[in-house]
Structure 1
Amino acid sequence: MTKSALDKDLQRVTGLETAAQDLARKLAAPGIALIFLLLATLWASHAVTDTQSGYLIVIAALIAGYMALNVGANDVANNMGPAVGSKAVTMLGALVIAAVFEAAGALLAGGDVVNTLARDIVTPGTHLDDMTFVLLMMSALLASALWLNIATYVGAPVSTTHAVVGGIVGAAIAAAGINAVNWGSIAAIASSWVISPILGGIFAALALLLIHVTITGRLDKISSARLWVPIFIAAMAAIFSAYLATKGLSRIWKPSPWLTLLIGLGVGALAWIISMPLIRRRSLTIENRTKHVASLFRAPLVVAAALMSFAHGANDVSNAIGPLAAIVDRLGQHQTGATVALPFWVMFIGASGIALGLALFGPRLIKTVGEQITKLNEIRAFCVALSAAGTVLAASALGMPVSSTHIAIGGIFGVGFLREYWQRLAMEVVSVPRHARHVDPAALNATPEEALTRARQRDGRQLVRRQQVLGIAAAWVVTVPASGALSALVYLLVNMFLR
């Protein structure tokens, strides 16, 4: 065999080995997910051996585990995406922090998993026998999980709550007709598609504008930062403490509005006292530049992302296990009462599934949220986190229907469009780009008006990617009808095989 022929054979072998390694890496995550679903099924089988309808609970547990994986893969990106996009924390660090706090929130303060969605969406007085109710909830859970899986695959962050709502609507129509749906509740949910991103964007933009006026827009940024950064940290601490008291810890503690306000003020004052010497000490080692001043927001941003993950785990774990808990309660596993009884194995499937789904499939959406919409630094990401918590807290106090997913994405849009507006204002004063590397060669022989138009178009694409805006907005609008159509189809199929 000639030397060239041997080299070609070795190249083929090396290529096959590389291809095999790539395939193994791609199959590792789905393989681990399948093992998790198998273990969840076995645990559920062990937990319901004394129940005549145990096979239905086991199937529902399998679907709930699949839903939990998809909640972790899609929804958690909104909490950690800005922190990763601003380089405040690495992808690995974000995955570890989010997995720990999501699981802790779900296990320690898991939200009320009564089937309130079903009661709000299904028209009062609609009679559903046990089997119909179980098949409805199973179909809604499976359809919403399938839709989240599709959305994650295409890189679209969507609301898991809206996916579950759509699933219940579709299954309810298939089971009891169109009159079984409370369309007033659906209209209120649909209104959040507009309310949530607008409020998130406005609050995030206002926070960024305030930081610009008080710190980054000043000549002596360091002195301004020593005064104002502790104040912003105190505001963050106050908002998040009130947010956790009202949303994240609702299952174990429900303080009154006045007590919540006092808690927020007390925690905020304590955070201000603690952060002042820390910020002063840290400011002695930085330069009087925006990039260096932004680093002062890094630690508060990471803490905010962790707290948002805890609150998300406490509340949105019910999207995965709420229908399962309702099925367990309906089939007589536990005594029914004012609330649905929550076995530990049900909660553990939801908590571990969310954490595992985030670790296995979360990086794709985290990159989309943190890097592919607009460029973020620590300050902008901090404004997004502050806006997300503050908007949810204010909307809850006013009784407005909002989506935390839409608020977080809207906050990113808000800071991006504000920066774009500032850029255009600056270009009105000087009709050429600020940096020579941004000069379009075609504009050198163009009129000033033509050069300014080209620069505006170019900067608009740089600061906020319109394609991402349109794609994400379309996914939001499609979520409820898409999951509803899937759920109706699933219900008709399972009704044929399981009834």
Structure 2
Amino acid sequence: MEATTAVVIEAIRGTYLWALILGICLSFLLGFGMGANDVANAFGTSVGSKTLSLRQAYILATIFETLGSILVGYKVTDALRKEIVEVNIYKDDVTALFFGQIAILGGGAAWLIIATVLKAPVSTTHSVVGATLGFTLVMKGMQGIHWSKVGSIAMSWIISPCLSGIISSLLYILIDHTVLRRKDPVKCGLRALPVFYFVCIAFNVFAVLLDGSYLLNLEHLQWYITLSVSLALGLLSGLVFHFFLSSRLLNWINKTEEKKINAQMVNPAMIAEGLSTDVLEREPEKKNKKQKLKPTLRGFVFWFFPYQKQEEDPRTLRLFSAIQVFTACFAGFAHGANDVSNSIAPLAALIAIYDKQNEELAMSSPTPLYVICFGIVSTCIGLWVLGHFVIRTVGQEMSQINPAR
């Protein structure tokens, strides 16, 4: 059996070099489509709220997608490559497994590019997992599919949007009550921001260390060490912001608003129309009507949820623009850690079959770094070329967005 497998693999090397090249091209297209679609999702809100320009979003996305994919993403690649389908069922039919990876790449790439042109934000994970199941069902039927793994992935497709929607709603309600409704929202915001920085830093450091990046030799790091380091770095970042950066941020906000008001005051169009500049000077100080709590269910609901026509203080919005850039970068990091790997998982399997040096078909070797880098390059090119389509949909056409929301 093992000798037969070795012969087949040698035949693949000699006969199907063209298929490997085709697979590499399709993997590039899949990464290109994912960069144009999925990565744009992560930074769409930052561009839509005018916190970042399109070029700034592209640069930050490139940096943090790369870091996330290299430091953490290889584990997701290995999961998609080894845990959805039992590859040993193809020991007698290695060629089918080889061409199956090409089918996965082609199907996923075609769908992502179509969705991007239609400005529809979709998931690369859905595409790759669905294509993997489709090819296996055609070739082997129900045999060899790890349904428990497929079920957990499918459940995440339902749980993730629901959970993220609930968490984002609760966070905005918390910000609304603790910052936006206060008499001095900027001062309250400066008190709250160190907490946000602590949570963001601690959570993301914990995710990187817990996954155990083999590039940083962290595979065997104990969980309690991971937790301690994460909390320490999160606390340090919060303290640094509170004692060193908050005053500078406040000065930047004040200077920016002064420049904006001065520019509007000397606007020739406003002078020609005889508009008073006193209104402009007082506008940042305009306060919203306080939502009073009434002893009824309707009154409680009206008080608890944010007032839809509430006008946020522009100085407060600039305050939250700083944390929005921060969170967008970590969203890019998380996306790189998870989804960039999807475009290279079939390619990694393709190369493992083509370049295997022994008789075993089991894909036990780690994903090569050059394959991960190939996926990063294709993803970033897709973002820079077509990312504006989905960024416009997420940032401008789905909802009204500002830095606080």
* TM exceeding 0.5: yes
Match of 1:87 in 2: 50
Match of 1:232 in 2: 196
- CA drift of 1:248 comes to 9.1
SS at match of 1:121: coil
Normalising by structure 1, report the TM-score. Answer: 0.61
* Counterparts of 1:304 and 1:80, CA distance in 2: 10
- CA drift of 1:231 comes to 2.0
Gaps of 5+ in 2: 1-11, 258-283, 286-311
Distance 1:72 1:212, change over 3 A: same
Gaps of 5+ in 1: 1-49, 381-499
Match of 1:454 in 2: none
CA contact (8 A) 2:82 2:363 kept: no
* Counterparts of 1:162 and 1:248, CA distance in 2: 26
When the two structures are aligned, how many residues end up with a matched partner? 332
SS at match of 1:340: coil
* Range with bigger deviation, 165-174 or 319-328: 319-328
* Range with bigger deviation, 292-301 or 169-178: 292-301
- CA drift of 1:319 comes to 1.0
CA contact (8 A) 1:64 1:324 kept: yes
- CA drift of 1:343 comes to 4.2
CA contact (8 A) 1:112 1:251 kept: no
- CA drift of 1:249 comes to 4.3
SS at match of 1:122: coil
Amino acid at match of 2:365: V
Q: Deviations over 1:315-338 (max 9, x none)?
A: 323211111111211223456777
Distance 1:122 1:106, change over 3 A: closer
CA contact (8 A) 1:115 1:322 kept: yes
Match of 1:351 in 2: 376
CA contact (8 A) 1:115 1:326 kept: no
Match of 1:112 in 2: 75
- Identity over aligned residues, as a percent? 31
Task: Note if 1:201 corresponds to 2:165.
Answer: yes
RMSD: 2.7
CA contact (8 A) 1:326 1:340 kept: no
* Counterparts of 1:76 and 1:191, CA distance in 2: 22
Match of 1:362 in 2: 387
* Range with bigger deviation, 130-139 or 263-272: 263-272
Distance 1:122 1:108, change over 3 A: closer
Match of 1:37 in 2: none
* Counterparts of 1:194 and 1:109, CA distance in 2: 24
- Quick one: which of 228, 236, 243 aligns to 1:262? 228
Amino acid at match of 2:250: S
Distance 1:309 1:330, change over 3 A: same
Matches within 5 A, 1:309-320: 309-320=332-343
* Counterparts of 2:199 and 2:17, CA distance in 1: 50
Task: Note if 1:66 corresponds to 2:29.
Answer: yes
Match of 2:105 in 1: 141
Distance 1:191 1:147, change over 3 A: same
SS at match of 1:112: helix
- CA drift of 1:109 comes to 5.2
Q: Deviations over 1:364-394 (max 9, x none)?
A: 11111122211111122xxxxxxxxxxxxxx
Match of 1:371 in 2: 396
- CA drift of 1:296 comes to 1.4
Q: Deviations over 1:327-360 (max 9, x none)?
A: 2112234567774354454333211100100000
- CA drift of 1:208 comes to 0.9
- Quick one: which of 31, 38, 41 aligns to 1:78? 41
Distance 1:199 1:343, change over 3 A: closer
SS at match of 1:158: coil
Amino acid at match of 2:376: A
Higher RCO (CA < 8 A, seq sep 6+): 2
CA contact (8 A) 2:101 2:346 kept: yes
* Counterparts of 1:274 and 1:345, CA distance in 2: 37
- Quick one: which of 189, 192, 202 aligns to 2:156? 192
* Counterparts of 2:328 and 2:77, CA distance in 1: 27
Q: Deviations over 1:121-152 (max 9, x none)?
A: 32586345210111111111111111111211
Distance 1:310 1:232, change over 3 A: closer
CA contact (8 A) 1:112 1:250 kept: no
* Counterparts of 1:122 and 1:113, CA distance in 2: 14
* Counterparts of 1:97 and 1:90, CA distance in 2: 11
* Counterparts of 2:117 and 2:63, CA distance in 1: 24
Distance 1:360 1:54, change over 3 A: same
* Counterparts of 2:137 and 2:47, CA distance in 1: 41
Match of 2:59 in 1: 96
- Quick one: which of 343, 346, 350 aligns to 1:327? 350
Task: Note if 1:272 corresponds to 2:295.
Answer: no
Amino acid at match of 2:231: L
Distance 1:99 1:118, change over 3 A: closer
* Range with bigger deviation, 232-241 or 347-356: 232-241
Q: Deviations over 1:399-431 (max 9, x none)?
A: xxxxxxxxxxxxxxxxxxxxxxxxxxxxxxxxx
Match of 1:213 in 2: 177
* Counterparts of 1:232 and 1:348, CA distance in 2: 32
- CA drift of 1:234 comes to 2.0
Matches within 5 A, 1:426-465: none
CA contact (8 A) 1:51 1:333 kept: no
CA contact (8 A) 2:197 2:238 kept: yes
SS at match of 1:102: helix
Match of 1:160 in 2: 124
Task: Note if 1:305 corresponds to 2:328.
Answer: yes
Q: Deviations over 1:279-311 (max 9, x none)?
A: 234335265563211211222221322233233
Distance 1:114 1:213, change over 3 A: closer
